[in-house]
Amino acid sequence: MAPVDPHSFTESTQPATTHIALTLYFDFPSSTIHASALFTLQTPHSGPFFLDTRSLTIHSALHADQAIPFSLSATSDPIKGTLLTLTLSNHSSFILTFSTSPSSSALQWLLPPQTCNKTHPYVYTQCQAIHARSIFPSHDTPARRIRYSAILNIPSELSAVMAANHVTRRPPRDDDAPALASLNLNWCSQDRVVEEFVMEQPVPPYLFAFAVGQLGNREVGPRTRVYAEEGSAVLDSAAKEFEGTEEMIREGEKLFGEYDWERFDLLVLPPSFPYGGMENPKMVFLTPTVIKGDGSGAQVVAHELAHSWTGNLITNKTNEHFWLNEGFTTYAERRIVEAVQGEKRATLNVGIGWRGLNEEVERFKDNLEFTKLKNNQQGIDPDDVYSQVPYEKGFQFLFRIERQVGRSAFDEFLKKYIAKFKFQSIDTDTFLDFLKENIPGIEKQIDLVLWTEGTGIPSDAYEPELIVYKTIVSLANEAATGRMPGEDEVADWQGQEWELYLDNLPKSIEASQIVALDSRHKLSESKDYEVKVSFLQRAILCGCKEYYGEVEKTLKAVGRMKYLRPLYTALVKGSEEDKVFAKRVFSEARECYHPIAQSVVVSIFSKHM
């Protein structure tokens, strides 16, 4: 037994899957997908063959119409799910038929009232970190990359997008899905349509993605369309917010080399989407909360774009090396933002990240393992330890190298790194070996072991020195003496400045100061959720009950975990009354959250109540 990943049943002694041909029938009334998958293996295999599954019903396993013996493990691992074992006899391909469960951890099925346009149902995926296995059996580890094709049979009034090239939209045919014939589906019904897609580049399974709903789109550049629900105000707002995307792509290419994914389309999902963005290649998923009306939401797009090189082209081998995805991408994002929006915006990002990193180290003070870049996640659900550490400490590590060798030398190194490892999955040691090979002596100038395997924040990390950053932090610190910023001091502040200010307010600030601050600047009413949630978190910690109505409204309006986590955590750390309030709001809002977000809130409750 030689597992390749603590979060997967995948065995290193068994051949990799090189291609999966998926056929998916979407049954909205039952919140179920009935499917078949043709697997092609790297080499023929005899003996046991393992695949990851979660909450799947397996109907059959076939090769040339002959049954292949298979079994599901009697018990389900709480993290890895259920092991599917096939007994192969020199097989290099096989077909599985299966159905998803309404409780699939990757899928959120939305009824019309839960969508933006309120008229049609919607379903979308979120497969990171280990949730692709709840859609189709797979080697669900970033250590294995696959190509795939997909035929989606959906209601004809809806349309589909995927993180793949769109081939065609057409009527269903009898020969589309012979493996599904035994399920008696209405495959060729007149009210159904087929959408076909193909992903020709090899990607890790967590980047598998689709959405089905009543979708419209707007062209915003030669390589970019913005998609959102047709008939909602979101579509036009998103097109305006992201009209500068092509400039960012060109800047990314200058820094990191050719963009290898042809398209960079954007899908703005319903507000329940649990992340700010998801870097699915060719079709980035975004929360509507990034649409702020001032173009600053494009910074999230810059992050997802940067993943096109660091994360999608070069991928962490397992989640124990997640910083290779997110630290690199945070560094790359800030370089793109600096080029497009200027040094001030990039530096404010660094400052907000610096504060966030310090807060995360405090969060993990009882388990410092997860303040390491390279950490041990055996028996750990990666969703439970998701944090800003791999993003911000990873960024700090790379920025430390840049400061040591100079920007031009580091830029040259980055291009070599991307060219060397593109379309591969690597670990921290592989990166460090390449670093030492290409920048000789770097290990004598920077303590690489301390940075990658040490806990906390190294002493040679960087807190921004730009005057605008120091001014805002100083203003926040002055709140301890009762001083609030004047109108002239905040006249040109945007969301980032307010977020930095609020994040740096002293814990000793009094409730009356919070109320006065809001009375003057209307922060609780901000359309920028970064500002609103940061303010409401402070209000909860100060016991300002007059804002609990806005807290409830916010928790019921959005499902982004970046907002749910601090608000629910602040509540459950408070009084018994606060805990009762948190439980009630969650019970009423739960069905509007993605399953991943539901699990995160449940874990917060179990830890603090």
Residue located via tokens 């917010």 = 241
Q: Which amino acid is at 282?
A: K
Rounded Cα distance between 543 and 381, Å, is 33
The single-letter DSSP state of residue 91 is E
pLDDT, tens digit, 9 for 90 and up, residues 143-178: 999 999 999 999 999 999 999 999 999 999 999 999
Coil vs helix vs strand at 12: coil
Tell me whether residue 544 is annotated as binding.
Answer: no
Q: How many CB atoms lie within 10 A of CB 445?
A: 12
Q: Please, what are the domains in the chain?
A: 17-213 (2.60.40.1730), 219-308 (3.30.2010.30), 315-453 (1.10.390.10), 467-607 (1.25.40.320)
Helices (H) and strands (E) in the chain, counts: 19, 20
Are the beta carbons of 44 and 16 closer than 8 angstroms? no
For the chain, the distance separating the N- and C-terminal CA atoms, rounded to the nearest angstrom, is 39
Q: Which of 196, 229, 241, 304 is catalytic?
A: 304
Closest residue by Cα to residue 485 from 349, 495, 496, 497:
497
Rounded Cα distance between 603 and 229, Å, is 32
* pLDDT score of 1: 63
Rounded Cα distance between 583 and 31, Å, is 26
Are the beta carbons of 104 and 595 closer than 8 angstroms? yes
Are the beta carbons of 97 and 24 closer than 8 angstroms? no
Tell me whether residue 216 is annotated as binding.
Answer: no
Closest residue by Cα to residue 263 from 230, 299, 319, 219:
219
Q: Rounded to 5 degrees, what angle do the CA atoms 342, 414, 142 make?
A: 105
Tell me whether residue 326 is annotated as binding.
Answer: yes
> 323-341 and 428-438 helices cross at what angle (nearest 10)?
60
Closest residue by Cα to residue 120 from 195, 234, 215, 227:
215
The answer to whether residue 547 is catalytic is no
Residue 436: CB partners within 8 Å, gap ≥ 6?
442, 443, 448
Tell me whether residue 240 is annotated as binding.
Answer: no
Residue 433: CB partners within 8 Å, gap ≥ 6?
none
Closest residue by Cα to residue 424 from 437, 411, 434:
434
Tell me whether residue 25 is annotated as binding.
Answer: no
**CA neighbours within 13 Å on the CB side: how many for 500?**
26
* pLDDT score of 315: 98
Closest residue by Cα to residue 593 from 291, 271, 276, 286:
271
The answer to whether residue 247 is catalytic is no
DSSP conformation letters of 546-572: GGHHHHHHHHHH---HHHHHHHHHHHH
Tell me whether residue 276 is annotated as binding.
Answer: yes
Residues of the chain with pLDDT under 70: 1
Rounded Cα distance between 491 and 513, Å, is 20
Tell me whether residue 199 is annotated as binding.
Answer: no
Rounded Cα distance between 281 and 494, Å, is 30
* pLDDT score of 295: 75
484-488 long-range contacts (CB < 8 A, ≥24 apart) are 484/513, 484/516, 484/517, 484/520, 487/520
Q: Which of 331, 386, 391, 548 is catalytic?
A: 391
Q: SS3 letters for 365-380? A: CCCHHHHCCCCCCCCC
Tell me whether residue 501 is annotated as binding.
Answer: no
> 323-341 and 298-306 helices cross at what angle (nearest 10)?
130
The single-letter DSSP state of residue 524 is G
Tell me whether residue 274 is annotated as binding.
Answer: yes
The single-letter DSSP state of residue 3 is B
Closest residue by Cα to residue 524 from 495, 506, 487, 550:
550
Cα distances from 573 to residues 77, 547, 564, 578, 580, in angstroms, run 30, 17, 14, 8, 11
Rounded Cα distance between 33 and 333, Å, is 36
* pLDDT score of 44: 98
Rounded Cα distance between 490 and 500, Å, is 12
Rounded Cα distance between 554 and 394, Å, is 31
Rounded Cα distance between 106 and 561, Å, is 15
Residue 530: CB partners within 8 Å, gap ≥ 6?
495, 496, 499
342: left (phi over 0), alpha (psi -120 to 50) or beta: left
Burial class (CB in 10 A: 0-12, 13-18, 19+), 493: middle
Closest residue by Cα to residue 114 from 232, 32, 209:
232
Phi first, then psi, for residue 89 (nearest 5°) are -130, 85
Rounded Cα distance between 367 and 426, Å, is 26
Cα distances from 358 to residues 68, 319, 371, in angstroms, run 53, 21, 10
Q: Which two tokens stand for residue 563?
A: 């907002």
Are the beta carbons of 239 and 268 closer than 8 angstroms? no
pLDDT, tens digit, 9 for 90 and up, residues 518-545: 999 999 999 999 999 999 999 999 999 9
Residue located via tokens 């910074």 = 299
